[in-house]
Amino acid sequence: MAATVVRGQNVDIRMWTRPDEVEEFAMRQLQNISALPWAVKHIAVMPDVHYGKGATVGSVIALRDAVSPAAVGVDIGCGMAAVRTSLTASDLPETLRGLRSRMEAVVPVGFAQHKATAFTERDASDWASFWKRFGDLTPAVKARADKAMHQMGTLGGGNHFLEVCLDTDQRVWVMLHSGSRGIGNELAQHHIAVARTLAHNAELPDPDLAVFLAGTPEMAAYRHDLYWAQDYARRNRAVMLRLVCDVLRAEFPQIVFEEPISCHHNYVSEENHFGEDVLVTRKGAIRAGRGELGIIPGSMGTGSYIVRGLGNPDSFESASHGAGRRMSRNKARKTFTAQDLAAQTSGVECRKDAGVVDEIPGAYKDIDAVMANQSDLVEVVAKLKQVVCIKG
């Protein structure tokens, strides 16, 4: 669909969804974002848009010589990884409970972490220099080095997941969603708090949108920590993907893995749009430059998409990061039961207890409708359906 233009304050808002389908609080947030004096051209809003802390989830914001840490989110570098295997559905066992258990045994979920560090030179060759850079992060997190090392290669909770999927050709995929874990959250919270104290943010319509300005020590400190956390998130997904692939390799010695796909969807990128160098924050959005591969997941009982970007300039070459929530976690818990969850995840080997009812498919938007709304942003490479889903 073509974007709908809504008049904003300083810049307009381009939406790849109907404005009347956006919740009131989210629309108010978007108006506040559009009032930022550093905003360039317009605000791009993805079809999975929904209310978020500070900045709206599903927003793409290009700022001139400024960046808002809340427009990145507290899970810095959160994103997706996926790999297609040579296996087909017929290679999988009749019951998938054992496979799920073996995967859960190697990837800690929720608040759990590895007893011994899980990263190896199979994942990257420069771990020593990566961890050395930890010492240059803000002193506020200096006591967290050991925790960060043991959380490397862990899933976390909430909407993070690890899945085995089938595409329409019945080929088996591994897909996962996670970010920078506790260390990324602590770095984000620290810098959001610092930004709120700066004088140039005093008159903003929402103090959570506080920005750092280019050429200041606060901006330099944030960007240093931000890029380290984004790297942490990318490595975290790579370690988990290797751990799960090792499980499959032990089960199916003949298996072959294709080149993995990886993408952030909560991050900052230095880019050029409309002839201007800008800092782009994507919060709940992937980069979809022409020809670039991306991953757009649905909820745990529906399906997901591997996509190729079309490089639409009006979206700042972006697309949605998933289906997007249509109700809060609290509302989902009050609306649905464990029985509803079991019904909506029929055919998927996964948790079906009250502890994950807030992740029920009914709490999310229709992924196929979201995809239809962004047909000018991405083209579909493959549609996947979960057969195993692991959540914290």
What is the per-residue pLDDT for 326? Answer: 93
% pLDDT > 70, the chain: 100
The pLDDT value recorded for residue 47 is: 97
Confidence of residue 336 (pLDDT cuts 50, 70, 90): very high
Residues forming the annotated binding site for Mn(2+)?
Answer: 75, 160, 177, 265
Query: Which amino acid type is present at position 79?
Result: G
How many angstroms separate the CA atoms of 207 and 193, rounded?
A: 10
pLDDT tens digits, one per residue of 80-102: 999 999 999 999 999 999 999 99
User: Are the C-beta atoms of 158 and 367 separated by less than 8 Å?
Assistant: no
pLDDT higher than 90, residue 38:
yes
What pLDDT is stored for residue 54 in this prediction? 79
* pLDDT at residue 337 is higher than 80: yes
Which domains, and CATH codes, for the chain? 80-262+291-326+364-391 (3.90.1860.10)
Category of 112 on φ-ψ map: left (φ > 0), alpha (ψ -120 to 50) or beta: beta
Confidence check: pLDDT of 2 > 90: no
Cβ–Cβ < 8 Å for 84, 167 = yes
What's the pLDDT band for 277 if we cut at 50, 70, 90? very high
> Is residue 246 scored above 90 in pLDDT?
yes
Structure tokens at 223: 């960007």
pLDDT digits (tens, 9 = 90+) for 105-146: 999 999 999 999 999 999 999 999 999 999 999 999 999 999
pLDDT at 342: 96
What is the predicted pLDDT for the residue at 251? 96
Q: Which two tokens stand for residue 56?
A: 């709206």
Short-list 108, 102, 70, 348, CA closest to 249: 102
Query: Which stretches within the chain are classed as H helix?
Result: 24-34, 97-106, 127-132, 145-151, 181-196, 217-251, 329-335, 338-344, 367-372
CB neighbours (10 Å) of residue 142? 10
72: pLDDT strictly greater than 80: yes
What pLDDT, on the 0 to 100 scale, is given for residue 305? 98
Q: What is the DSSP letter of 130?
A: H
Judging by DSSP bridges, how do beta strands 266-273 and 171-178 pair with one another?
Answer: unpaired
Q: Give mean pLDDT, residues 180-184.
A: 98
Sign of CA dihedral 362, 363, 367, 372: positive
| Binding annotation for GMP | 159-163, 265-266, 297-300, 304, 321-324, 391
Q: What are the Cα distances from residue 194, in Å, to 12, 143, 180?
A: 28, 19, 20
- Whether residue 1 is predicted with pLDDT greater than 80 in this model: the reply is no
Residues taking part in catalysis: 321
pLDDT band at 301 (very low <50, low <70, confident <90, very high): confident
Geometric angle at alpha carbon 12, from 320 and 314, rounded to 5°: 45
Q: Which helix (H) or strand (E) holds 280?
A: strand 276-283
Kindly tell me if the per-residue pLDDT of 392 is higher than 90.
no
* Average pLDDT score over the chain: 97
Q: So what's the pLDDT on residue 53?
A: 84
Q: Cα(37)–Cα(64) distance, rounded to whole angstroms?
A: 9
